[in-house]
Amino acid sequence: MNIKSLLLGSAAALAVVSGAQAADAVVAAEPEPMEYVRVCDAYGTGYFYIPGTETCLKIGGEFRYEKRWSKTAGATAHYSNWSRGRMIFTAKNDSEWGTVSSWIRMSGSNEDNSGNSFSADYTFGIGGLEFGSYDSQFAQFFGYGGRTDDGGHYIDWTYGSRQYVSYSASFDSISAILSLENDRGFGANGNKAMPDVVAGLSYKFGDWTVSAGGAYDESDDSFALVKKVTGDMGMFGVTLVGFYSNSATNSYFNYDGFSVIAGASANVTDSVKLAADFQYWDNNDYRVVGDVSWAVASGFSVLLEGAYGDQGNVKSKSAFVRFQRSF
């Protein structure tokens, strides 16, 4: 074999080996483009777009610990410890029919090491149409009473959480609502096929809001009326609410007659707020509630509240201190 033949043979062998290695080579895939979470400012602070969608999501929650004390005349004082944790998820997106929204709040609470109890509230809807398993619109639309955390006694809270379908609409400074709420069928006239009904109107002008409406309790065959005026003027706020029902077992206002709540609040500093409510019933019962809240830091607050009442010729006192983390 001459040198020329040897060189040609070596070149051919190298070509075969190189071709085989090229066929077996692993080619790295191009990396997928990373999609960062985008801030959504269409619905306020705290929302972000769910990656790959046009839906905005907000995650929040709160944790509470309370030390409670209560005493009724002639009875021994009662002390208790109560705690609660909540997670809240809100999702919204636009549509040609209005905003599509959903909200769910999951809660767990414990009193005096009695074991955790869990519950969930939720609402969802489109535009002004809302479906819910949450507080009655008689509480939501009219703003839950007075200025303190207690806010006044006016709704039977065993009925406060309702399944409902409601429709609300706003026209500049005027808002209106109509709600059909699940009737539980209690009472001689109870018919679970027929709903309870809540309706209301609200008008806002400057620092003031005036609202009025009513509710029909189908099971009790009775009605409740409410009228409310609120004003927030700089550091001061005032509230006046009037209630009337024609039945002591009406689930929206469980009292046969009139009651009024007068409340006031003042922002003493940027972090300290005082509030008080006075409620009077037309049988001469009354109740006073006062509190002071302190926003210690962003997301952490302390509330101290006390109440004194004379209802049904029974005098009672109560108080609690609350520590809360919210985000």
Element (H, E) at 75: none
Beta strand residue intervals within the chain, DSSP E: 39-40, 47-49, 56-72, 78-93, 100-111, 117-126, 129-135, 161-171, 174-181, 196-205, 208-217, 222-233, 236-247, 255-267, 272-281, 286-297, 300-311, 314-326
Dist CA 170 CA 294 (whole Å)? 34
The pair of three-digit structure tokens given for residue 227, joined into one six-digit string: 């009228």
| pLDDT at position 36 | 75
| pLDDT at position 296 | 98
Quickly count: other Cβ atoms within 10 Å of residue 7's Cβ.
10
Above 90 in pLDDT, residue 165?
A: yes
| pLDDT at position 31 | 62
Above 50 in pLDDT, residue 20?
A: no
| pLDDT at position 6 | 41
* Cβ proximity of 100 and 92 under 8 Å: yes
Per-residue pLDDT band at 159 (split at 50, 70, 90): very low
* Interval 91-136: pLDDT, tens: 999 999 999 999 999 999 999 999 889 999 999 999 999 999 999 9
Dist CA 306 CA 198 (whole Å)? 32
Q: What is the pLDDT averaged over residues 303-318? A: 94
Q: What is the pLDDT averaged over residues 281-306? A: 97
| pLDDT at position 156 | 57
Partnered with residue 260 across adjacent β-strands are 242, 280
The pair of three-digit structure tokens given for residue 46, joined into one six-digit string: 């705290």
Q: Where are the alpha helices (DSSP H) in the chain?
A: 3-24, 137-140
Dist CA 276 CA 272 (whole Å)? 14
3-state secondary structure of 292: strand
- The CATH code of domain 142-327 reads 2.40.160.10
- What's this model's pTM, rounded to 2 decimal places? 0.83
Q: Which has more confidence, 184 or 274?
A: 274
| pLDDT at position 32 | 62
| pLDDT at position 184 | 66
Dist CA 188 CA 237 (whole Å)? 43
Above 70 in pLDDT, residue 69?
A: yes
Q: What is the pLDDT averaged over residues 234-254? A: 94
Above 50 in pLDDT, residue 22?
A: no
Concatenated DSSP letters for 169-235?
Answer: EEETTEEEEEEEE-----STT--TTS-EEEEEEEEEETTEEEEEEEEEETTTTEEEEEEEEEEEETT
Per-residue pLDDT band at 37 (split at 50, 70, 90): confident
Mean pLDDT, all residues of the chain:
89
Q: What is the pLDDT averaged over residues 248-253? A: 90
Above 70 in pLDDT, residue 142?
A: yes
